[in-house]
A = this chain, B = another copy of it.
């Protein structure tokens, strides 16, 4: 499985400054047709060789405000041709403090298998959430965002991943995942069976991590925001189960089917907490509206496809059959991997543009929606920064 929640938990820390793995040359916006019409603050990483085909744009987009345009300088680690908004750099002191609190929490709950002891510093949860939630109301909320991220990674890594040697299995995965869901969506029944369930969901680290992180989240989130998260974890589990099923049956999904699965096996649970972490609420009546659901899905899909693009060489090296977007495009359309990769960058850019256009239009209708769309965009930027600067984890293919 290539689940997004796993991504921000590099087991090798990026301790050195990012370097340019490929020959990114010219300043942003200077070489591609897309860049010349890009919305303000939206950057196209400069391609060094064959830029993707021009992306049709109907209009120049204002994009979410308050994106620091001054930061739109040359990005050395970014994928050439990729549309993205630069992120504010992570405050290393804040990141270290979040990591300290997270580690204390994880140790207190005995979350990690014995083999993992000592590994904590490699995860970079603190840096991830500091990049993703620059507007977090306080360190407590940032830490809870980190707890949720850690929990998502733990469930994925211990239950879903077969090749990580932690007992995960695609076969029969539906069993552990429904019990995991129950750790955040409580069982209701006769008292003595509820007691057995309570004991059961405390008996394993991944279940404990789900249970206690959501309990901490619910302490400041509204019941609606908590229910939103529970729904998004159900979506995530459905995505894991679809990916496991296709892997088991060696089914090659069509590109749209792959992207549908990836809309479920998706960063969404990380993004849909943005308002709670920032200390406000997009009221559920607004959140549930189809157009808000749509910009949420677009932001989540853009940032999830970014994960496919940055982890492409890593996944290819560990499992040449592993499904990710370039692979699925290549195998469906008879392209070579390079052409499929460049087409995948284009697919990402189209999703990113749709998010920018549609969120700008909706933002004009309500200050709360504007704030929410900005929080989503900021998370997407921070997650891109995490990927682009994580040179120890990701290496771009030699396609430019």
Contacts and interface: CB of A to CB of B under 8 A. Distances in A.
A253 to B, nearest CB: 8
Contact of A174 (B227, B241, B263, B350): B241
Interface centre among A178, A244, A260, A301 (most CB of B within 10 A): A178
A280 interface: no
B298 A188 contact: yes
A244 to B, nearest CB: 6
Interface string A242-274: 111110110101111101110110000000000
Contact of A190 (B189, B222, B354): B354
A172 B249 contact: yes
Interface string A315-350: 000000000000000000000000000000001001
**Protomer copies:** 2
A192 to B, nearest CB: 9
A70 B125 CA distance: 62
Nearest to A227: B288
A135 to B, nearest CB: 24
A289 to B, nearest CB: 5
Contacts of A191: 350
18 contacts: A172-B249, A173-B245, A174-B238, A174-B241, A178-B238, A181-B235, A182-B264, A186-B294, A187-B259, A188-B297, A189-B350, A189-B351, A190-B351, A194-B256, A223-B288, A231-B234, A238-B238, A241-B241
